[in-house]
Amino acid sequence: MNKPVSEVKVLVVDDQPLIVEELCEFLESSGYRCVPCQSSTQAIERFAADPAIGLVLCDLSMPERDGIELVRALKIIAGQQRLFEAIMLTGRADKQDVIKALREGFADYYQKPVDLNELLEGIQRQEAALQIRRENYQHLGHLNQKLQYLAESIDDLCQDLGKARGHGVLRRATDFDGELDNDPIPVIFEQLSPRQLDVARLVGKGKTNYQVACELGITENTVKLYVSQVLRLTHMRNRTQLALALSPGNAPQHQRLTAH
């Protein structure tokens, strides 16, 4: 019985042809259409030409551009409208390189030689995460349209009320744009990336690394790295201290964490 084929294509990038061939053969047998590439330059060209590519699986260490530089270039091509998830493969366990890659936007990483079954599970998680992001993006677009319509209706109502009461023109609702979004986040958390904030908030709710991993669709090892980053950047000693810092009672004057 043939397996269903995913609508999302996987861009597989590695400077070693045999690895590309092995990964593509395995993923295609598991229901994914793959776009094989043996260089970052080739990957950039094929990503730009094929909007069906939504998952990127690439090696960290490559000539010309490494995996981090490749994802930067793909982000520029994608802009705000096109969404994709990237997974990194690395042949060396250099923690700093991994941290740098996660900060750049990689959703997950796997150490070579890769366990193909674990990789498949990771690909499936990121495909599900991508689908959720796309649905949220569409929902946000519809919501913005409704909010715009509501704002225009309120504007008209304010004008009518102002005229009826003889008070002249009232401030329009759109005059307040941005004012409601100026609540500052606690200073100690300003330097965190959106994904680091997501992890910090979930840890602050008392969730375990496993629960955080399930909720964000990443591996426990990736969560551990994010927690380590958050503690280091905020100069906190442990998760308990982080949870206390994030509790509502300790946030000054309605400050809140917001991920943009």
pLDDT digits (tens, 9 = 90+) for 167-212: 444 444 344 344 433 445 567 787 888 888 889 889 888 899 999 9
> Above 50 in pLDDT, residue 248?
yes
Predicted confidence at residue 149, as pLDDT, reads 55
Predicted confidence at residue 33, as pLDDT, reads 96
Give the CATH fold of the 9-132 domain: Rossmann fold (3.40.50)
> Above 60 in pLDDT, residue 216?
yes
In three-state secondary structure terms, 109 is strand
Q: In the chain, what are the domain boundaries?
A: 9-132, 187-247
Check whether the bond before 113 is cis (ω within 30° of 0). Answer: yes
**Confidence band for 80, pLDDT divided at 50, 70 and 90:** confident
**Confidence band for 146, pLDDT divided at 50, 70 and 90:** low
Predicted confidence at residue 189, as pLDDT, reads 80
- Which comes out higher in pLDDT, residue 150 or 125? 125
Q: What is the pTM of this model?
A: 0.56
Rg over CA atoms, the chain: 23
Cα distance between residue 11 and residue 54, in whole Å? 8
Max CA distance (Å), the chain: 79
Predicted confidence at residue 173, as pLDDT, reads 39
Predicted confidence at residue 105, as pLDDT, reads 84
Average pLDDT over residues 144-158: 58
CATH class of the domain whose range is 187-247: mainly alpha
Predicted confidence at residue 89, as pLDDT, reads 93
**Is 37 in contact with 20 (CB distance < 8 Å)?**
yes
Cα distance between residue 124 and residue 155, in whole Å? 46
Predicted confidence at residue 142, as pLDDT, reads 54
Cα-based distances in Å from 216 to 67, 75, 173, 223? 22, 20, 36, 9
**Is 13 in contact with 70 (CB distance < 8 Å)?**
yes
pLDDT digits (tens, 9 = 90+) for 84-131: 999 999 887 677 888 888 888 899 989 988 999 999 999 999 999 988
pLDDT digits (tens, 9 = 90+) for 226-237: 999 999 888 888
